[in-house]
């Protein structure tokens, strides 16, 4: 279930990277200022998508809504990028499986009717475009509560003693890998199923440990067939190892776009509050 490696020669440097950020402030009347933007970069080009609104949002819905707004900006900026550019690979900060599990429940918020449907339209349009162009896309998460690997191991070990199920009930994949791995490497990809969407292929999840002193990354990637392509897996693994530059810069491209897209206090005050 785990392959030790520090990467090979099948990497690519033709990589686009995408990330997003948000800015939220509550006004005296309870309404929220919500800003979100997504940047996609490739070589010297930057493609962006921006959202702004002053509206009422139920407090319990705010976190999920802003997360989906940021992700929607990412999807749209990537569609724009793919309309003009041809990278070998796209790296997206975040989880693809998490996006597919948001659900279609409407938010308790003004002027957001139908947003979940539009969100999935943009995500599926992106995945379809990637598949048509033959571009590799991988979603990279530094923190994850995924148990896909543990579930796969337990299923392959059937029947599993009841006490083993109880002991592992609260253990996530990253804890398992960090506890047992002796060297850098990656875990066996596990098929993600049950999204309920008509996808242009299959979604696979694996974990990559870039350094024994660092934390694992969760990687979701799209495969155009019902099985994953071992060549695509090697390309993703080798590229992520090649682009790893330590705990503070776990990926050179994602770190660059993260620094670019962040909202900064002085920027918001200058461009937003100056006009109020």
Question: How do residues 102-126 score in pLDDT, each as one tens digit?
Answer: 988 899 999 899 999 999 999 999 9
* Pair type for strands 217-223 and 202-209: antiparallel
According to DSSP, the β-strands at 89-93 and 15-26 are parallel
Residue 245: domain span: 2-20+87-262
Determine, yes or no, domain membership for 26: no
In a domain, 53, yes or no: no
What's the mean pLDDT when you consider all of the chain?
A: 92
Q: Tell me what pLDDT residue 167 has.
A: 67
Q: Is residue 75 part of a domain?
A: no
**Within a domain: 50:** no
Residue 79 lies in a domain: no
Render pLDDT for 151-175 as a digit per residue (tens, 0 to 9).
888 888 777 666 666 666 678 888 8
229-259 confidence digits (pLDDT tens): 999 999 999 999 999 999 889 999 999 999 9
Could you read off the pLDDT of 187-238 as tens digits, one per residue?
A: 999 999 877 788 899 999 999 999 999 999 999 999 988 899 999 999 999 9
Mean pLDDT of 84-102: 96
Do residues 253 and 41 lie in contact, with contact meaning Cβ atoms separated by under 8 Å? yes
Whole-number Å distance between alpha carbons of 139 and 151 = 21
pLDDT above 70 for 143: yes
Does residue 78 belong to any structural domain of this protein?
no
Query: Are 19 and 41 spatial neighbours (Cβ–Cβ below 8 Å)?
Result: no
Q: Is residue 198 part of a domain?
A: yes
In a domain, 152, yes or no: yes
Residue 79 CA to residue 74 CA, distance in Å, equals 9
Token match 């785990």: residue? 2
Q: How many distinct structural domains can be found in the chain?
A: 1
Specify the pTM. 0.92
Give φ, ψ of 229 to 5 degrees. Answer: -85, 115
Q: Inform me whether the pLDDT recorded for 183 exceeds 90.
A: yes
Q: Residue 160 has what DSSP assignment?
A: P
């Amino acid at each position: 279930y785990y392959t030790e490696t520090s990467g090979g020669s099948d990497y690519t440097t033709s990589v686009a990277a995408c990330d997003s950020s948000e800015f939220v402030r509550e006004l005296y009347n309870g309404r929220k200022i919500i800003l979100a933007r997504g940047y996609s970069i490739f070589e010297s080009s930057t493609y962006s998508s921006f959202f702004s609104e002053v509206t009422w949002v139920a407090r319990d819905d705010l976190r999920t809504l802003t997360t989906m707004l940021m992700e929607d900006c990412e999807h749209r900026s990537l569609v724009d990028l793919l309309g003009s550019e041809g990278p070998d690979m796209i790296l997206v900060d975040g989880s693809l499986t998490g996006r597919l599990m948001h659900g279609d429940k409407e938010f308790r918020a003004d002027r957001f009717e139908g947003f979940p449907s539009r969100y999935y339209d943009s995500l599926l349009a992106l995945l379809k475009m990637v598949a048509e162009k033959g571009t590799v896309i991988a979603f990279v998460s530094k923190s994850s509560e995924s148990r896909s690997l543990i579930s796969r191991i337990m299923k392959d070990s059937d029947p599993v003693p009841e006490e083993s199920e109880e002991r592992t009930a609260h253990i996530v994949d990253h804890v398992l890998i960090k506890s047992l791995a002796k060297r850098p490497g990656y875990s066996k990809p596990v098929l993600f199923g049950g999204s309920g969407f008509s996808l242009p292929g299959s979604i696979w999840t694996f974990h990559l440990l870039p350094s024994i002193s660092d934390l694992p990354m969760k990687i979701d990637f799209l495969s155009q067939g019902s099985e994953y392509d071992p060549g695509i897996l090697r390309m993703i693994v080798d590229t992520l190892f090649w682009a790893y530059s330590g705990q503070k810069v776990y990926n050179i491209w994602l770190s660059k776009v993260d620094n670019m897209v962040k909202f900064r206090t002085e920027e918001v005050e200058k461009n937003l509050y100056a006009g109020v």
